[in-house]
Structure 1
């Protein structure tokens, strides 16, 4: 008999391959009772697989081979890739001592140190790197040998009795083999109860009654049946009842011939309990512990998938904590029809679809067996095995699952509580980091980008953010992959879903499990967070964390939406407070500088206007006391009132009188206004006559052609203070090449410590140096002087209006 044991697997050549390989080797050596070699073997495997991933980049095949008959017994580990042209330079591994500071080039050096032999084999299509480890004298060869089949008694004594009975246990059919086995002729038992022929005795704490067994779809086990001579005959029974049929079929053989009806030996199932015990003695992360339990259960049961469920929401519901096999990316809480806090015994369902359609769809399974994790009489979770076909499991499996559940329940709960404490601290830290990062961000695109980078690579391999606008249109806003070079390909693969419900989208099939989380707040969807993970299941704690993150992101998106709406409204209203354009004046040149002090604002407390009325032009420059919406309201009132009154041909003095009354009628105490208002009437010979009045405003400065500067208006009372105030105008001529400078107090009172810009007629001195400059050049020079006057930015709005009469040679006749 060939006693060599071989176990193989294959991986894609991705960065996840070394981790999968480590788990595989650790599992195989545990099954072969070679735990003392695990650390060195896992390290060697990790290095060889990593080299294959980095240097070959192809699919990888990993084989563990144990030869127990060799002297000494030996373990070989082989790693195959499909890039044989990439040779290995053996001299580097042998001649160069390993450098402890290097993170690469050490694989074969380690092989030389830890393995008894190693080598490389090349073929046309593959390259194999292998290491050999010799096993010491303490190795138990018999324990490592494959289980042998039991010796069978003589075939001549074999009788297979076939008994058919209905759901109530009444015998309907009894064949001749049953008569030879038990001595009862058919005429004496047909129509009678099966119960009288069976000395039914349950085996184990969770065994079923005879009536319960007859209702099952499938069952195998030992029993004792009464012979016609009165003795009890040990038998082995295989029970089968087709779905939808009332009749059940029993195939019965003597216990010595049980091998005829038992399934082929399943050494992994027999070893599952021992492997679980060894597992619990190891110190490993909680998630790895659950994953390994699920793997052991899935392999030992022969199911398509296995899960570890843990309680959620106070223990009333249960969610996926780990999975193995072929799960379909399960997230969060499962349907509670089968899993409940009050179900404290194992459950076997031949057809889950007939019991719970929702759960069958979630698990993509028809057969299900499960056993509860009981701690102090309370259900804290479940061990679950599923299969895609109906009727795959028997009652023996539930007993095995309950045995495993009894082993792991208390250790898992203890580790879970410790993990929950660690996860709670990590969760708070993660959410605090996310909240700090997203705080004050009012741009949807930036929120989407930050969210994706929060998730990748901590939680997922890649993430995509879909955003839904007020009209219900959804768009892909941002994608982020742990390997940035894949971002463009990922964006191409992900679907555009303008009006498809996010829960109805078919995500692309790939190596990662794709999961979608809605961004919901205040009953409104702002889109979805879609992630791809290499792991097939998402632990419940991570699902809860992502749900909290999505709520936080949705709240920030909602805030950003409100901010954008308010900012748009504010911007439109603010822009209405300033003229759309400045009216051109033949023979005159104008320039305006307007800089609100508030960051991001279009309009502050200062305002200006320059417009045409009949044959002359009007200008205004004002400053409202205060800031905010109240100041903006006064700004709007003042600018539009000046323009309206001027269009009605009111004089400058009358405009100030009427505006003063309007402000007082508003009834807001302390809401006053300084205003410089004037008219410009062009002269035939060039220049213009200027009529101006200053209501508490800094007086305008006139730069004469000779370079002198003089104030051309006297400050009068502020508007909005005294109802009986009367205003007067002053008139002067703006000759060709002369400049009129009008400013607000943001210019004259620009502060640097205790010094003001206009101290010692500083503004007049600045203007005197602008002789010969255009209006725009004068405005820019004054603006630059204000900006550079102090290191700190200005805390007040800055507005200035420059009007220059064109030189005579430029005046049109």
Structure 2
């Protein structure tokens, strides 16, 4: 006969009709139906346990039969959870509970919220299948390793074992953390109403072995237990290699419930379980520390991925909350050496605004030199505080200085609700993270300062604005290569020289700061010499000499430089010279595109270079396009945009358009010629004679 998986049967006997015979019949009939062999032993054990319940408890009795694998478990429940069950070996009347000790495979006592149960197990169904053969070597190697019990699981088993051994109302298992504080790990039995999980052992220390017969008359101040009605305790330490690692406490609501023999029993439980608890604790600590190392490596990688100061502080806060703390605040040092709030985050997003408002109310103060507890909210004024400030102001908080390159740049504050614990490992981890955060924030600050300086210098090299010229429609395009550059090797300029207007578009060999420095030299030279009424060839010769004087810092420069002189009939005379630069293109209203192929020597190459000028007259509706090689040398595979007069064909399609529309259409065609980012600066200038 086979038994269903984990079948259960129940029988309840009210006090007025409770009968040992009825319980015996119920157990006997149930086990026979299941095919159990040792029915007589089970009925005898049931008789003893039900008799004890009827005689000593006087409450309703419930009998439960349960098949578990190859065993059967019989439980006898009563409603008097505080009644102590005699332990085998005690001096008790009659046979007591010696029968379970002798006849059962195992037995014990379990205390519930409003009852207790005495249980035993016996062999299960006959005709069980023979045990499987031992696994092969390959099976043992590939089989998953059984998981080891955690500290909390071992602590709970220890509490249950102690409760069964002493018949206590409740058992507490407390273990020490690295900072030597006792932390409650597990409870068993009836947990007194109102007892906090983090039980405060205030006043004189409760430790070591001892019996506390009456808490009401003792020097020990245990308000949480006294308020819950606990009257007596028995305690025993967990000791490993002569070092205390925790404490086990058995509690009762009855005064003088325990005696010296209970101390010995509790100490036996503690001694038996202490090595396992310590091994499990050390293994969990090692796993946690490996996890922390991985966390720090991940944090370092994330912090190295941004050079935005505000983004870095937000990243630090989100690494800390909620993994290490409930909320986090970062302060940065300003010019007056005081730390002012820069960023704050809370696990409860509804509290972020209140937290930031509270931080703003704090008086400025220098950051601390060492980590430690933080009492900052105590200095906040009471007026002006948000109505929900009490949700934060009573929190536990710690502060860590932010030190980078030997100086203080601010502080990091982490907090949690009242009663929260920051153990030593968490504080050390947060201190390590604060050091990495400080360097990342300082790097971001330095980068932003340098980038701002670079942007300021680059903007100084650009023309102030495009002038408005009567009778002339003017548009420019300027796109430097590089994500962080505003000025590169290409440049343009348009400025007045008396009643005439000069224009220039050039290309310095290379990109970046070195090219930009030559750009600044060229632009300022063109303006100064032009306003001194030097001719275009003379300007180019003097600029060539200035570049050559730069020596090893000199860069080659190609340049288109010209002058526009409006005429009375509405046309304009354009005089220009090219120094190694692509000559301009001219577009007529009918779509005809003209241009030259010849150019003089580039600037900065030869001191004896000579430059010639060309003059054309542009009628109304005609336009001039000046451009750098970043336009014609835009590459798509093996093809360039300028191949086969590609730019001329694009410009021919712009007939009838204004200067701005022409510049936009040509720019769009250049960008669309290839999907790859451009590695060369691009500049264009469009001059159109208005009709």
TM-score range (shorter-chain normalised) is: 0.5 to 0.7
State the distance in 1 between where 2:155 and 2:567 align. Answer: 94
Q: Contact conserved, 2:622 with 2:688, CA < 8 A, in 1?
A: yes
Alpha-carbon distance in 1 for matches of 2:425, 2:481? 48
Is residue 2:293 matched to residue 1:428? yes
C-alpha displacement at 1:521, in angstroms? 2.6
Alignment of 1:315-464 (within 5 A): 318=179, 322=183, 376=241, 410-460=275-325, 462-464=326-328
Contact 1:327 1:536 in 2 (8 A): no
CA contact (8 A) 1:593 1:801 kept: yes
Shift of 1:602: 1.4
Shift of 1:453: 2.9
**Correspondences of 1:661-676 after superposition (within 5 Å):** 661-668=545-552, 671-676=555-560
Following superposition, the deviation at residue 690 of structure 1 comes to 1.7
Residue equivalent to 1:71: 60
- Compute the displacement of 1:437 (Å): 2.8
Equivalent residue runs for 1:454-493 within 5 Å: 454-460=319-325, 462-471=326-335, 472-481=338-347, 484-485=349-350, 487-488=352-353, 491=356
Q: Are 2:184 and 2:198, in contact at CA under 8 Å, matched by a contact in 1? A: no
Q: Is the aligned partner of 1:521 residue 2:391? A: no
CA drift at 1:650? 1.9
Distance 1:675 1:654, change over 3 A: same
- C-alpha distance 625-496 of structure 1, shift in aligned 2 (>3 A): farther
The one-character-per-residue Cα deviations of 1:693-743 (angstroms, maximum 9, x if unpaired) are: 111111111112343211257322111111221222222222221111111
Aligned length: 493
Which TM-score applies when normalising by structure 2?
A: 0.61
Indicate conservation of the 8 Å contact 2:600/2:610, yes or no: no
Structure 1 equivalent of residue 455 of structure 2: 571
Kindly provide the CA deviation profile for residues 608-635 of structure 1, in whole angstroms up to 9, marking residues without a partner as x.
1111222221211111111222222222
TM-score normalized with structure 1 length: 0.53
Residue 802 of structure 1: how far off its partner (Å): 0.8
Residues 109-151 of structure 1 deviation map (CA, whole Å, 9 limit, x = unaligned): xxxxx9xxxxxxxxxxxxxxxxxxxx96556999942799xxx
Distance change >3 Å, CA 140–CA 539, structure 1 → 2: farther
Provide the rounded CA distance (Å) in 1 between the counterparts of 2:199 and 2:356: 21
- For 2:84 and 2:601, the matched residues in 1 are separated by 108
2:48 aligned partner: none
CA distance in 1, matches of 2:198, 2:408: 28
- Give distance in 1, aligned partners of 2:435 and 2:628: 48
Shift of 1:778: 0.6
**In 2 relative to 1, CA 709–538 (structure 1 residues): closer, same or farther, beyond 3 Å?**
same
- Alignment partners' CA distance in 1, 2:156 and 2:299: 28
Do 2:576 and 2:614's aligned partners in 1 also have CA atoms closer than 8 Å?
yes
Q: How does 1:389-788 map to 2 (within 5 A)?
A: 410-460=275-325, 462-471=326-335, 472-481=338-347, 484-485=349-350, 487-488=352-353, 491=356, 496-497=361-362, 499-500=364-365, 503-506=374-377, 509-510=390-391, 513-518=395-400, 520-522=402-404, 523-532=407-416, 536-668=420-552, 671-711=555-595, 714-788=598-672
* Structure 1 position 440, deviation (Å): 2.4
Structure 1 counterpart of 2:83? 145
Q: How does 1:36-185 map to 2 (within 5 A)?
A: 68-72=57-61, 137=75, 144-145=82-83
- Tell me the alpha carbon deviations over residues 428-484 of structure 1, each in whole angstroms, 9 at most, x when there is no partner: 322233233333212233223333333344344x423334153345225242425x4
Q: How much is the aligned-residue C-alpha RMSD, in angstroms?
A: 4.7
Question: Structure 2 vs 1, CA of residues 580 and 448 (structure 1 numbering), >3 Å: closer, same or farther?
Answer: same
- 1:596 CA displacement: 1.6
> Deviation at 1:547?
2.3
Moved more, 495-504 or 399-408: 399-408
* Residues 748 and 763, structure 1, Cα contact 8 Å, conserved in 2: yes
Q: Is the 8 A contact 2:631 2:641 kept in 1?
A: yes
In structure 1, C-alpha distance between the alignment counterparts of 2:356 and 2:63, rounded to whole Å: 50
Deviation readout 1:85-127 (Å, 9 max, x if unpaired): xxxxxxxxxxxxxxxxxxxxxxxxxxxxx9xxxxxxxxxxxxx
